[in-house]
Amino acid sequence: MGSNKHQQDKVLQTLKRLEQAYPDAHCALLHNSTWQLLVATILSAQCTDVRVNQVTPALFARYPGPAEMAKAERVELEELIRSTGFFRNKARNLLLCAQQVSGPHGGEVPRTMVELVALPGVGRKTANVLLGNAFDIPGMVVDTHVGRVARRLGWAQSRQPDVVEKELCALLPAESWTQTAHILIFHGRQCCRAQTAWCSRCPVLEMCPQIGVGRQK
C-alpha cells in the first residue's frame, strides 16, 4: 500500500511539473459543436490534427450537422476528406454514424461510453475525447503520444491502448484524466518525440526513468 501511495505521489509531482510546462494544453481539433468534434476525431485516426483542421471547414460548410451528412453522396464525402487518409473507410463510418445520430439518437451525440463505442468508427479513444471535451465527463484519451510518454515515464507498461487507459486511470484522480491526456499529447509532440526524444529540454528529465528511450538530444 505504501509503495502504491509513493508511486502516485511521484506521478502527481511529475504531472504538476508538466502542467506548468504546458499551461495551454487543450484539444487541438477545431469544432463548434459536439457533432463536429466527433467527426473531427474520427478523421484524426492515422492523421495529424493540423491536416484535419485544414479539411473540416469545407466539410462542415457542406454538411453542418448529422442530418445533412446522413444524406451525403459518399463519393463527394470521400473527396472532401481524401487528404486525411483511409478516406473510404472514414467516409463509410461517417455516413453510418450520421445516420445513427440523426435517426435513433434524435440528432444528439450520445454521452455514455457504451452508446458512443456502438457508433461506427468510434473506439474508446474517440469516445473519451467526446466524454472529456464535450460533456465534461472524465475520460482518459490514449493515443500514440499518451502511450509513448506514459511508458517512458513508467506510468504504464502495456502497448495496448485500452490497457494503458486502465493503468493511467488507476494512477490518477478521475478529475485529472481529460487534462492529463492533453498535457501528455503536447509533451509528446513538442519534446518526448517518437524517433528522437528531446531530453535536453524536458521539463521533467530528473523525474523520468526514460524507459525505452532510444535516440535523444
Cα 47 to Cα 41: distance, rounded to the nearest angstrom? 10
Instruction: Enumerate the CATH 1.10.1670.10 domain ranges in the chain, comma separated.
Output: 2-25+140-216
* 3-state secondary structure at position 208: coil
List, in order, residues 6 or more apart from 54 with CB less than 8 Å away: 83
Region 179-192: what's the mean pLDDT?
97
List, in order, residues 6 or more apart from 61 with CB less than 8 Å away: none
Q: Which three cell numbers stand for residue 191?
A: 519534446
* Helix (H) / strand (E) containing 196: strand 196-197
Please give the mean pLDDT across all residues of the chain.
96
pLDDT at 1: 44
Instruction: Enumerate the CATH 1.10.340.30 domain ranges in the chain, comma separated.
Output: 34-134
Residue written as cell 484519451?
141
Annotate 146-165 with b (16+ C-beta within 10 A) or e (fewer).
bbbbbbbbbbbeeeebeebb
**Reported confidence tier of residue 5, pLDDT bands at 50, 70, 90:** confident
> Are 32 and 59 within 8 A, CB to CB?
no
Q: Which three cell numbers stand for residue 84?
A: 486525411
pLDDT tens by residue, 87-114: 999 999 999 999 999 999 999 999 999 9
* pTM, full prediction: 0.94
Instruction: Choose the CATH number for 34-134 among 1.10.10.60, 1.10.357.10, 3.40.630.10, 1.10.340.30.
Output: 1.10.340.30
Pairing of strands 215-216, 196-197: parallel
pLDDT tens by residue, 115-164: 999 999 999 999 999 999 999 999 999 999 999 999 999 999 999 999 99
Question: 53 pLDDT exceeds 60?
Answer: yes
**Reported confidence tier of residue 2, pLDDT bands at 50, 70, 90:** low
Q: Which three cell numbers stand for residue 157?
A: 507498461
Kindly list the catalytic residues. 125, 143
Dihedral, 168, 170, 171, 172 alpha carbons, nearest 10 = 80
Cα 11 to Cα 211: distance, rounded to the nearest angstrom? 15
CATH topology of domain 2-25+140-216: Endonuclease Iii, domain 2 (1.10.1670)
**Reported confidence tier of residue 43, pLDDT bands at 50, 70, 90:** very high
> Are 130 and 34 within 8 A, CB to CB?
yes
pLDDT at 216: 86
pLDDT tens by residue, 205-216: 999 999 999 888
